[in-house]
Amino acid sequence: MRSRWKFLLRFAVLLAVFELPLLTEPVDRYVAQPLSSGIAAASGALLRAIGERVVVRGTIITAPCFAVDIQNGCNGLETTLFLLAAVLAFPAAWRQRVIAAVIGTILIQGVNLIRVATLYLVGCHRPEWFASFHLAIWQTIVFATAVIFFAAWSRRAATADARA
């Protein structure tokens, strides 16, 4: 029971340490905005690969039918930091935590890439569905991906630790 409280405390501290800097202008300018631009560029490339005629300028993906602007909260950064705080707070070997952090980050950003591309497609072809997909469905999927990944990894890490 005590180890659970230690995990929760470490998790809360790490989450605050990771998330609070996002409120500052330099972190927004030099971390969040470049990440959002990268997500826009990658999503634009994915959309062009499936035949969509989109143009990407900074954080905006646009075409005659629709445009999306990848803002903070839409770039997967908060969910990634949430997962990193959980993984790093978990009592496992550092090697396991680093591997989980890398795989989890790639997973969250991959799911977010699909999210942005499909939100563009929904906005273009079914604009009446956009708000629901943007605010409810995809946010839930991205966050659930982080929670499920952490649950599966932590169970496996705890089992490996118990065997050792």
DSSP symbol at 35: H
Tens of pLDDT, residue by residue over 34-82, are 999 999 999 999 999 999 999 999 999 999 999 999 998 899 999 999 9
Q: What is the pLDDT at residue 3?
A: 83
**Residue-range definition of the domain harbouring residue 119:** 2-163
Strand order in the sheet with 60-63: 55-57, 60-63, 66-69
* Mean pLDDT of all residues in 28-32: 94
Tens of pLDDT, residue by residue over 102-113, are 999 999 999 999
If one counts the domains in the chain, the total is 1
DSSP symbol at 52: -
Res. 160: pLDDT tops 90: no
Whole-Å CA distances, 53 to 61, 62, 64, 118 = 10, 9, 9, 14
More confident residue, 163 or 97: 97
Site of tokens 């604009």: 127
Q: How deeply is 141 buried, as exposed, middle or buried, from its count of CB atoms within 10 A (0-12, 13-18, 19+)? A: middle
Please provide the DSSP assignment of 86-121 as one string: HHHHSSS-HHHHHHHHHHHHHHHHHHHHHHHHHHHH
Q: What is the pLDDT at residue 163?
A: 60
Nearest to 97 by CA among 108, 106, 88, 109: 88
